[in-house]
Amino acid sequence: LVGTFGVAAGGAPKICPPADVVLPVPLPREYVVFHAWSGGYKKHLKEWPNANWVALTRRALDAGLPVVFTGGRSDCERTMQLIGATGVDDGRLINAAGALTLPETVEVLSRARVVASVCTGIMHLAAAVGARVVSLHGPTSSKRWGAIGSGVVSVDAAQDGCGFLNLGFEDEGQRRDCMVSIPVEAVWAALRQQLGD
């Protein structure tokens, strides 16, 4: 934004977690955060299929990483369904959707080993707190809408015609299957890269 006025911005956005945050739910010492839900206009176009999140969750668990799911209050039920679809009910999957204030969310993101998110505000917030981020882009292009920071790895849909959103409303006549085309293997490889595996 400031570049349009001839101002050279050399630093990425940065947010420091407040020092006095007490989380309402106990978290494991190490965990990853998955943010499956988008917001805004035509948000469903930016959401990855639940079956893919389930497969990614199982891989994280197989690697010994508990998963914290974030989201808004309106995402709580969908998150419970997503967790239920994994078939895992042993405490390693935590539904924090709608349970955290903004400062608490900042704390949870900052302590995560990796945050995997669709293109939405949490993706940008995670990058701003210095978390390692894997961002998923279908109708959005990471070059235009991606998170900014040295700890960000973006996974863009490889199909022709994806990444078409510029200002956010150019969806007329565009693909509806961009997020479906992002394979679990590509996201898992990006997560492993971020974990240093």
Burial of 2 per CB tally in 10 Å (0-12, 13-18, 19+): exposed
At residue 1 the predicted structure's pLDDT band, cuts being 50, 70 and 90, is low
pLDDT tens track for 130-186: 999 999 998 888 888 889 888 999 999 988 878 777 766 666 666 678 999 999 999
The whole-number average pLDDT for the span 73-85 is 95
pTM for the structure as a whole: 0.90
Taking a C-beta distance cutoff of 8 angstroms, is the pair 114, 27 a contact? no
Contacts of 42 (CB under 8 A, 6+ apart): 139, 171
Sign of the dihedral defined by the CA atoms of residues 130, 25, 99, 118, in that order: positive
Across 62-66, 67-71, 76-80, 146-150, least confident range: 146-150
Q: 32-42 pLDDT, tens per residue?
A: 999 999 987 67
Contact indicator for 117, 129 with CB cutoff of 8 Å: no
